[in-house]
Each structure stands twice: as C-alpha cells, then as structure tokens.
Amino acid sequence: MAFEETMRENIRVIRLDGQVTDREMSGLADHVTGLLDKNEGIKVVLDLGQVRWLNSMAFGVLTALLQRLRKANGDLKLANAHDHVISVFVQTQLIKIFDLHNSVDEAVAAFQTA
C-alpha cells in the first residue's frame, strides 16, 4: 500500500507516497470506508506532498471519499499538493469543494478552529 497513517490528536493524517495508482487509490478508499463503518465524525488530512500527479480515477475517489466523510459528520482536508495537482483541482472546479492547505500543520489547525 502506498500510504502511511498517523494520528495528530483526533485527526488521521494519511501520507500518500509517490505515484498513486488506481489500485492504491481503491485501497485508500476501502481503508477510509472501513474506518467509517466503525466510527462517525472522522477527520482526515491527506498529505499529497510526495504525489506528483493524480489521474482521473484518483480525483473521483477523492470526491467520493469527501462525500462519504461529510455524510458521516466527518471531513477531508488536503495538504502539500504540488502545483500541477492544484492546477487540476482548479481546472476541474474541484477547488470549490475541497479544502486545500499548504501544509499538514495548516490542515490540522483548520480542523481545530472549525
């Protein structure tokens, strides 16, 4: 699996490593969905600092995760996205629904002030 999870207070920080394939995005979705089956109100920061690009399936998976988390009183924030990844969020208008931050610390702080 190409991700590593840590906890910062009550917030799950998931760091994706390098090139993220369809299989790995599906694994991430399954992992978070499994967490939702056990808990409600899960807060997730997805650290994209090591990810240079995401394909269309990845954006679909991220959108579905965001919707699932919000329906379960949780949320998803993205951190450390590279310029190319951010440009795709802007071009696809997904920037309007995702909360992007410059760092994991900023994303965690945004949860704490919300």
- Tens place of pLDDT per residue across the chain (114 aa): 478 999 998 999 999 987 777 888 888 889 888 888 888 789 999 999 999 888 888 899 999 999 999 999 999 999 999 999 999 999 999 999 999 999 999 999 999 886
| Entry pTM | 0.91
Hey, what domains does the chain have and what are their CATH numbers? 3-113 (3.30.750.24)
Q: Strand 11-16's sheet: what is its strand order?
A: 3-8, 11-16, 43-47, 75-79, 99-101
pLDDT at 70: 95
d(CA 45, CA 47): 6
Query: Quick one: pLDDT at residue 103?
Result: 98
